[in-house]
Amino acid sequence: MSNKKKHKGIKKKYQARNRFVLLVLILVIALTYIIIQKREGEIYATTTSASLGEIIDVIEKKNAEVNRYIVYGTHLNLEGSIDITNPEIKNVQIVAKKASGEEVAVDTTYEYESGELSFSTLSKINTGLDLESLDIDNYYILLKVTSDNGQINYYSLSNATEYTEPIDYYTLTRNNSNNKINISFLTQNGVSALALNINKVSKLPDDVYDVVIDPGHGGNDTGAISGRYEEDEIVLENSLDLKKKLENLGLKVLITRDGTETDEYDTYNIYDEDGRVTMANESGAKILVSLHMNSNESDFVEGGVEVYAAPNMDFSLAKSFADNIVDKANTTYSKMEEFKEEDGVYVRTIEVNHNSSTFRGYNGIYDEVPYLFIIREIGGIATGAYVNGSNSSYGENIYRNSNVGVEGYLIELGYMNVNSDLRNVLNNGDLYMQAITDSINSYYRIK
């Protein structure tokens, strides 16, 4: 063989080996990137981290101060103030603005007096900026002030609250995927802003859920009793059915008890590490549904469904639960008038004197807060959670001061002491659970 042919063969051999090495190197880099991205689930569509440089040209060199901001259920809300001189204000809005200029406006109330503009989106804690509706992009939450002459000024937001840690919000599971939204305050060159950085992930982290189901009572607490039937057993059976139905929609569901709890499980350890309140608060879920059977000392001829919610909420989903159950499960709205907001929808609060009243040993419970602990204590500051451990009978809710809350509903399916109600739930529980599932599916646009 000539040296020329020999050298050509060696050259081809090295070229092939180099191509192989390059291919392996590319695969290693790709796998390393995928492994890194798996920290919070498989990110398969990303946007770059938010930077104030994207919007610095459109905002004024003055910050509005946020003194309260809350993620409750699927919505972000805030309130704050700014000192400005503008007696010709026509409108004020909180907006989520992209660098492209596209923006989402949020209903905002405001007052302007003596040079101070106060603003809030918190009239209803479960409305505001719908985090489920945002695109994969960077958004900046700004205060938009429109004057009578048409001039528009945008002001960035600085954080004047005690909440300094970023919030990681995961959207509800749709088509086997979710968006992860990092909510944080940025500061660059003396300018602050509340930024939302949104990426798509293929699955939720192991400890994050879409929905929490809370079967009422359990352990040594049977709840209401009628003959051989006990409330805790009835609602557990229906809760397990509801869990299956919601999982069939593709949702990830946590249940606070499954029937394996011992007699030590009762209403006084709900704030323990594995207690129902702690589980709900740690779940990352957007909604909790607590199922119960009602009871009354009076001899009712008719019963009916009652859906309980917090007083400072929009009742659209609560009304949907009640309407669908009545329509699909061959039952009626409850005839009880006390605490009633509209047919089937109820709000029960702790009535207190703002100066001196106490409730169950707790001092200083201000404003109207939900009486039902499962609604109140999973909502954090949005619902006035207050169980701080000073009453040893109730333990301590370590999430009482959280600015992230689960949107909670308690559904009384019917009355144990009304025979028609009891029989209907026993015989048609599947229809009740399908009605609840349909409401969640429709309200959150799951499928």
Q: Residue 181 corresponds to which amino acid?
A: I
DSSP 361-420: TEE---S-EESSHHHHTTSGGGTT---BSSSGGG-B-TTTT-SEE-EEEEEEEEETTSHH
Asked if 397 contacts 377 with a C-beta cutoff of 8 angstroms, the reply is yes
pTM of the model: 0.89
| pLDDT tens digits, one per residue of 31-73 | 544 444 444 455 566 778 878 778 878 888 889 999 999 999 9
| pLDDT tens digits, one per residue of 250-276 | 999 999 999 888 777 766 689 998 899
Interstrand relation of 138-147 and 89-97 (parallel, antiparallel or unpaired): antiparallel
Asked if 234 contacts 217 with a C-beta cutoff of 8 angstroms, the reply is no
Q: What distance in Å separates the CA atoms of residue 107 and residue 100, rounded to the nearest whole number?
A: 22
For the chain, the distance separating the N- and C-terminal CA atoms, rounded to the nearest angstrom, is: 71
Q: What distance in Å separates the CA atoms of residue 347 and residue 245, rounded to the nearest whole number?
A: 27
Residue 444, Cβ neighbours under 10 Å: how many?
Answer: 21
Vertex 87: Cα angle to 82 and 91 (nearest 5): 70
| pLDDT tens digits, one per residue of 309-330 | 999 999 999 999 999 999 999 9
Asked if 96 contacts 55 with a C-beta cutoff of 8 angstroms, the reply is no
Cα–Cα nearest to 155, from 214, 232, 89? 89
| pLDDT tens digits, one per residue of 375-391 | 999 999 999 999 998 88
**pLDDT given for residue 267 in this prediction:** 64
Domains of the chain in start order, with CATH, are: 52-201 (2.60.40), 211-444 (3.40.630.40)
Radius of gyration (Cα) for the chain, nearest Å?
Answer: 27
3-state helix, strand, coil in the chain (%, to 5): 25, 35, 40
Tens of pLDDT, residue by residue, the chain (447 residues)? 444 444 444 444 445 555 655 554 555 444 544 444 444 455 566 778 878 778 878 888 889 999 999 999 999 999 999 999 888 999 999 999 999 999 999 999 999 999 999 999 999 999 999 999 999 999 999 999 999 999 999 999 999 999 999 999 999 999 999 999 999 999 887 788 999 999 999 899 999 999 999 999 998 899 999 999 999 999 999 999 999 999 999 999 999 999 888 777 766 689 998 899 999 999 999 999 999 999 987 666 789 999 999 999 999 999 999 999 999 999 999 999 999 999 999 999 987 654 445 777 777 776 689 999 999 999 999 999 999 988 888 889 999 999 999 999 999 999 999 999 999 999 999 999 999 999 999 999 999
Asked if 42 contacts 180 with a C-beta cutoff of 8 angstroms, the reply is no
In 3-state terms, what secondary structure has residue 174? Answer: strand
Asked if 364 contacts 341 with a C-beta cutoff of 8 angstroms, the reply is no
Q: What distance in Å separates the CA atoms of residue 335 and residue 303, rounded to the nearest whole number?
A: 7
Q: Exposure of 163 by Cβ count < 10 A (0-12 exposed, 13-18 middle, 19+ buried)? A: middle
